[in-house]
Amino acid sequence: MKILLLTQWFDPEPTFKGLAFAKELQRQGHQVQVLTGFPNYPGGKIYDGYKLKLYQREKIEGISILRVPLYPSHDNSALRRIFNYISFAFMAMLFGIFSTKKADVIYAYHPPLTVGIAAIFIKLFRRTPIVYDIQDMWPDTLQATGMLNNKKILNIISLVCSVVYKYVDHIVVLCPGFKQLLIERSVPEHKISMIYNWCDEEALAHASPIKIEYEKKLQGKFNIVFAGNMGKAQALDTILTVAISLQNLPDIQFVFVGAGTETERLKQRMYDENINNLVFIPRVPMIEVGGILDQADLLLVHLRADPLFEITVPSKTQAYMAMGKPLLMAVSGDAADLVVQAKCGETALSENVESIKKAILDIYKLSPIEQQKLGLNARDFYQKKLSLKSGVQQFVEIFKKVKHD
């Protein structure tokens, strides 16, 4: 099959439906072309080695990529973020109609919602069916993260979502809760499939050794590692408060790896309150993340206490499981159910200091063999239920279905 991947985010940006997805589709015998933007996420600045221009064609590991211009931004300004989304969608629509090869199916990655709008316009001109992959529920996520609180705008976004759901040919969601929510919003059940996300297995498998400067900070400690975006949705102030409550156990250490809109403020709080069991490691390439995760004793997932997050599975969950380390899932609902099914760690209540502290101590007090068993359970569950190969096979079946409908 000939597949057009339409996504605002693509390697070298951190994304779970980027190069790994494209390469596995190609490995399974399909032709892939990618239509994306110039890399700027999550910092909001164009990456080194790229220069914003009308378009750029390139190949990464055999995958053909067409990059189109956008307004680079990813800060707390809703207006600048909207410009970022709309600018990419407009340019992707134009280039998708006039500058891409004929495809059998369009795979469109959401968020943002504007990608779905661009996909529909391409479909109208090119008569190409769309498989729409929903990774965040809009407008729910926008409200839950605090990005938007204006009820009128949220209602407009909800209406646009309904239009997109109507005109795409099939929808893929990442967890049971999303599927149920769409059904409640009048999307026909037969139009929705659930495929759990995978992680960048290749990057983890060929991870670079941890840098000496970071290794020294992690040696001899019980390292609780949080890796990924540090924004309002992650509510990491709670974890800093947990860290304060555990300062009486000097070998317990919290390690934050990544960047986001809240990073500098969290660092400032660390300095102001003299929290001495925290380590911040800046965002590193995915190939280096595995080396850091390998030094973890416990991998942490945390999101704000919000009903929306009870029906999602944070994308870092799969990478954590694939690493074969115990998990602490401080998110209720579908994500916690995965940890319980896999028997690979503890669950805790979001933004609940005592619940999170208790879960940490429960794993901390286990013997090394018991901790190792939790990690082995995580890896085994991932390989059987969540792997890249399995997920892509499921996508291909959906692509074939919409092509023939």
pLDDT in single tens digits along all 405 residues of the chain? 999 999 999 999 988 789 989 999 999 999 999 999 999 998 889 999 999 999 999 999 999 999 999 999 877 777 888 899 999 999 999 999 999 999 999 999 999 999 999 999 999 999 999 999 999 888 887 777 677 778 898 899 999 999 999 999 999 998 888 999 999 999 999 999 999 988 878 778 887 888 888 888 899 999 999 999 999 999 999 999 999 999 999 999 999 999 999 999 999 999 999 999 999 999 888 778 888 999 999 999 999 998 878 888 888 899 999 999 999 999 999 999 999 999 999 999 999 999 999 999 999 999 999 999 999 999 999 998 899 998 999 999 999 999 877
Q: Which long-range contacts (CB under 8 A, 24 or more apart) does 51-55 make?
A: 55/95, 55/99
Question: What gap in Å lies between CA 194 and CA 5, rounded to an integer?
Answer: 19
Amino acid at position 277, single letter = N
Q: For 256, which DSSP code?
A: E
The residues near 62 (Cβ < 8 Å, ≥ 6 apart) are 23, 26
**Residues 203-385, CATH architecture:** 3-Layer(aba) Sandwich (3.40)
Give the residue among 314, 279, 283, 313 at the shortest CA–CA distance from 295: 279
Domains 2-198+387-404 and 203-385 share a fold: yes
Question: What gap in Å lies between CA 315 and CA 174, rounded to an integer?
Answer: 9
Burial (Cβ within 10 Å: 0-12, 13-18, ≥19) of residue 367: exposed
Domain parsing of the chain, residue ranges: 2-198+387-404, 203-385
Peptide bond into 112 cis (omega under 30): yes
For the domain made up of 2-198+387-404, give the CATH fold: Rossmann fold (3.40.50)
Buried b (16+ CB within 10 A) or exposed e, 27-39: eeebebbbbbbbb
**What is the Cβ-side half-sphere exposure of residue 150, based on CA atoms within 13 angstroms?**
6
Q: Please indicate, yes or no, whether the overall pTM of this predicted structure exceeds 0.85.
A: no
Strand 2-6 to 31-37 pairing: parallel
Question: What gap in Å lies between CA 338 and CA 150, rounded to an integer?
Answer: 34
Question: What gap in Å lies between CA 10 and CA 37, rounded to an integer?
Answer: 8
